[in-house]
Structure 1
Amino acid sequence: MALIEDKQLVELHKEQINNNYAVGDIYLGRIKKIMPGLNAAFVDVGYEKDAFLHYFDLGPQVQSLIKLTKIKRNGSVTGTLLDNLKLEADINKAGKISDVLSKNMLLPVQIAKEPISTKGPRLSSDISIAGRYVVLVPFSNTISVSKKIKSNTERNRLKKIIESIKPQNFGVIIRTVSEGRGVAEMQKDLLDLIAKWENFIKKVPSTEPSKRVWGEMDRSSTLIRDILNPDFTNVYVSTPELFDDIRSYVHDISPEMEKIVKLYKQKEPIFDHFGIEKQIKNAFGKTVNLPGGAYLVVEHTEALHVIDVNSGNRTASKENQEENALQVNKEAA
């Protein structure tokens, strides 16, 4: 999936086929090992490598999440909202993970970073569910507005809309794309997220440890959800099946933009037709040429990336060698 502005590739996204560990997925993790030296825990989420959960990614209200999980697993409460749940105190920002988690504890965790190479997924227990206009944050009552919305009048208007419809003990982040949207659109988006939360909570009691409880949408839909805005002129899709899915999703979230979703029908591969493939090869190649004649050589190792800056065919007199080196390094930076 590629995002192009003025024929230039600005974003490239890949999705693995049958990816069971996508960013946003929620698993009922089992704490496998506490690592005090790292202030982190390794968590079994069913992947071949244990997932990694750092103390800083627990979220301030992790104790409330642990409490709710125990209540649901014991079957003592049947409701799915948080109206009657007494929230626990926030954890200490400088605390120790061993004071919060213990071996074999069950904890809902969200995939924050997909597994790569020899490493398992990176996790967070600061659960959130993203929608088109808002993000739902359980165990909070804070309403925050995207800093990109500059108008104080608009910020206050959006806050008042959310205040009038959000349930107790749920926080909400109002996204940039919500600017100018009406009550009905905001309410529909929030209610959809609450329904997803309820679906997740209903599954917690019966889900086996290390199994997925709730899955995020496919990558193409989440990408459309997060970046689609009125500046878009076309969305080209290369397969009829995906075209139907994308068009249907755009119709749901922005009906006025459904017409820009188009099925690509040319024989030439879509990335070749729009000059994307060539840009990908240039971007991921080892050598990057700079406008002034210098070039970079980028090497990837298991531990880090190494970037070698070369002056190339850039010429300078002996007296100006230091100035030349400075200019090359500034250009590289």
Structure 2
Amino acid sequence: MVKELIIDSTPDSGVTIALLQDKQLVELNTEQVNNNYAVGDIYLGRIKKIMPGLNAAFVDVGYSKDAFLHYLDLGPQVETLIKLTKMVKNGSFKDKLLSTINLEKDINKSGKISEILSRNMLLPVQIAKEPISTKGPRLSADLSIAGRFVVLVPFSEAVSISKKIKSNTERNRLKRIVEGIKPPNFGVIIRTVSEGKGVAELEKDILDLVDKWEKFTRRLQVAEPSNKVLGEMDRTSTILRDILTDEFSHIHINDPLIFEETRSYIQGISPDLEKIVKFYKHKEPIFEHFGVEKQIKSAFGKTVNLPGGAYLVIEHTEALHVIDVNSGNRTANKENQEENAFLVNKEAAKEIARQLRLRDMGGIVVIDFIDMHKAPNRKELFEFLKECMRDDRAKHTILPPSKFGLVQITRQRVRPEMNIITSEKCPTCDGTGEIRASIVLMDDIESNLNYILNEQNEKDITLNVHPYIEAYIKKGLISQRMKWLFKYGKWIKVKSVASYNLTEFHFQNKKEEEIKL
């Protein structure tokens, strides 16, 4: 499997990151400019309200709505965290790490939040879920700092290993290495990508995380309530940290600053992959050049077509997502109806797994597959769906088909669902319901062309239009463009832009700056 990362940076929409597997778009992530309250960010929160009935608290972290902190998200060592915060704020904590602090007893798992927290108390909290819809962020006081190979957990001594590392020999090797490196009173979670890595790589990762912890304690001393104390890396670096492997063949970036930052980051974590980072210099938009724009438009609508003629209908409600599988124009006679349904369902299962990742659909998902009467087929479809979702990094649970043929999935939701509007305004009326006479479009273009050439004395211009209009202007031996050459004595470059509506056009000068009319 060949993987590519396409990174598009624009001043208006921030950074959009597309992950392609064998040229097919499987993930789309956006990072807005000044993106606050990202998963992993640590804030100094102030407890605003204790809710005994919910066994939870509302916390002020500077967002327009108070964040939510449940008792079960406090973490077993929250009392040590509270003690550390008080010591740091009053200046009595002199240790850079945690070697001199005495850990408190773990809190009771079935305790009450009012026994631990009180109103106006200051508590460092970590964003567990970004603000979604009308809800504020979801918080955790069980702090952790993620690296490429390990996750550092303060106030613990436990070393745990990813279940995806199957070899007992490798698990024991990694555990011995980490136990010999980690500082006291810090636990470590060993990630899947650490499999096969040496002492030097693991040690460097742990030392980097220790530096972040030291930075956290220094900032905590001067932090004001609701201030961010420690930020997660930007979205680009986070994705690279979590998924970068030898399977990646190219990383294309159109922003020089992000290009240098990405190349420097990869040089630090995986020097042999630095050469795959490429700076995109072409004039064509990067997503159009690599075919990402077309895939986005075809994948984010209510109806998603499948290669074999079947299609999915995806509906969203406040409580859950519903996906209906339809056979479309696939025909089957009585003899092969079961086989046909099975093939359509497998094709749909593969696309559904992609859609869940692509749209980052979280919560409850209900899938209505085409009815199958044979139990072995239903079981094989269930196993096939689980295999298709194996690469999904979000935590998820899949239930076997119910007696009604429905498959239910719960998928972790930590940030708002990716929602891209694929419908466009009517290209002729611009949403008003009224249109100007299309016969005058060429007159409008030529009128502006005449003004630019004769009044503004532009020498080298490019006309950007919809692909249909480009074809019309260039068609024939004596084309419209040839007529302009005879009339104005200048060759007009004509370029098609797929994102334009039918009657939209713009002129550019030789510096590729738009000519304002």
Does the alignment reach a TM-score above 0.5?
A: yes
* Paired position in structure 2 for 1:28: 44
* Paired position in structure 2 for 1:178: 194
* Paired position in structure 2 for 1:141: 157
Matches of 2:340 and 2:195 in 1, distance apart? 48
Structure 1 residue runs without a partner (length 5+):
none
Q: Look up the equivalent residue of 1:106 and give its one-letter code.
A: L
Of stretches 278-287 and 133-142 in structure 1, the one that deviates more from structure 2 is 278-287
Matches of 1:27 and 1:157 in 2, distance apart? 36
Matches of 2:336 and 2:236 in 1, distance apart? 51
Percent sequence identity over aligned pairs:
72
One of 282, 285, 292 as aligned partner of 1:276: 292
Q: Look up the equivalent residue of 1:214 and give its one-letter code.
A: L
One of 98, 101, 107 as aligned partner of 2:114: 98
One of 301, 304, 308 as aligned partner of 1:285: 301
Bigger Rg, structure 1 or 2: 2
One of 364, 369, 372 as aligned partner of 1:330: 369
Matches of 1:100 and 1:141 in 2, distance apart? 23
Measured against aligned partners, the alpha-carbon deviations of 1:244-274 in whole angstroms (never above 9, x if no partner) come to 1100100011111111111122222222222
Q: Does 1:205 align with 2:221?
A: yes
Matches of 1:325 and 1:99 in 2, distance apart? 57
Measured against aligned partners, the alpha-carbon deviations of 1:159-210 in whole angstroms (never above 9, x if no partner) come to 1111111111100111122222221221111111101101101221211111
C-alpha change, 1:6 and 1:310, in structure 2 (3 Å) is closer
Taking the TM superposition and a 5 Å limit, the aligned residue runs for 1:103-252 are 103-252=119-268
Q: Does 1:77 align with 2:87?
A: no
Q: Look up the equivalent residue of 2:140 and give its one-letter code.
A: S
Q: TM-score, normalised by structure 2?
A: 0.60
C-alpha change, 1:294 and 1:141, in structure 2 (3 Å) is same
C-alpha change, 1:257 and 1:308, in structure 2 (3 Å) is closer
Matches of 1:322 and 1:227 in 2, distance apart? 39
CA RMSD between the two structures? 2.5
Q: TM-score, normalised by structure 1?
A: 0.91
Matches of 2:297 and 2:110 in 1, distance apart? 44
Q: Does 1:54 align with 2:93?
A: no
Q: Look up the equivalent residue of 2:69 and give its one-letter code.
A: L
Of stretches 88-97 and 197-206 in structure 1, the one that deviates more from structure 2 is 88-97
Q: Does 1:5 align with 2:21?
A: yes
C-alpha change, 1:324 and 1:3, in structure 2 (3 Å) is closer
C-alpha change, 1:150 and 1:302, in structure 2 (3 Å) is closer
Measured against aligned partners, the alpha-carbon deviations of 1:106-157 in whole angstroms (never above 9, x if no partner) come to 1100111222332211111111111111110001101112222222222222
Any conservation in 1 of the 2:65–2:135 contact (CA below 8 Å)? yes
C-alpha change, 1:319 and 1:257, in structure 2 (3 Å) is closer
Of stretches 137-146 and 93-102 in structure 1, the one that deviates more from structure 2 is 93-102
- Name the structure, 1 or 2, with higher relative contact order (CA <8 Å, separation 6+): 1
Q: Look up the equivalent residue of 1:248 and give its one-letter code.
A: S
C-alpha change, 1:322 and 1:85, in structure 2 (3 Å) is same
Greater than 6 Å deviation, 4+ residue runs? 316-328
Any conservation in 1 of the 2:71–2:112 contact (CA below 8 Å)? yes
Aligned partner of residue 27 in structure 1, secondary structure: strand
Measured against aligned partners, the alpha-carbon deviations of 1:33-85 in whole angstroms (never above 9, x if no partner) come to 12223222111001111111122221121121112112222222221311121
Q: How many residues align?
A: 333
Of stretches 101-110 and 152-161 in structure 1, the one that deviates more from structure 2 is 152-161
Of stretches 110-119 and 197-206 in structure 1, the one that deviates more from structure 2 is 110-119
Matches of 1:258 and 1:27 in 2, distance apart? 33
Matches of 2:234 and 2:276 in 1, distance apart? 20
Q: Look up the equivalent residue of 2:217 and give its one-letter code.
A: I
Aligned partner of residue 101 in structure 1, secondary structure: coil
Matches of 2:181 and 2:122 in 1, distance apart? 32
Of stretches 114-123 and 315-324 in structure 1, the one that deviates more from structure 2 is 315-324
C-alpha change, 1:99 and 1:315, in structure 2 (3 Å) is farther
Aligned partner of residue 183 in structure 2, secondary structure: coil
Q: Look up the equivalent residue of 1:149 and give its one-letter code.
A: I
Q: Does 1:258 align with 2:293?
A: no
Aligned partner of residue 181 in structure 1, secondary structure: coil
Of stretches 208-217 and 175-184 in structure 1, the one that deviates more from structure 2 is 175-184
Any conservation in 1 of the 2:325–2:369 contact (CA below 8 Å)? no
Aligned partner of residue 132 in structure 2, secondary structure: coil
Matches of 1:174 and 1:319 in 2, distance apart? 53
Kindly state the Cα deviation for residue 296 of structure 1 after the two structures are TM-superposed: 3.5
Any conservation in 1 of the 2:84–2:93 contact (CA below 8 Å)? no
One of 41, 44, 47 as aligned partner of 2:60: 44
Of stretches 177-186 and 207-216 in structure 1, the one that deviates more from structure 2 is 177-186
Kindly state the Cα deviation for residue 320 of structure 1 after the two structures are TM-superposed: 11
Of stretches 311-320 and 251-260 in structure 1, the one that deviates more from structure 2 is 311-320
Matches of 1:319 and 1:235 in 2, distance apart? 49
Of stretches 310-319 and 224-233 in structure 1, the one that deviates more from structure 2 is 310-319
Matches of 2:58 and 2:293 in 1, distance apart? 39
* Paired position in structure 1 for 2:513: none
C-alpha change, 1:284 and 1:36, in structure 2 (3 Å) is farther
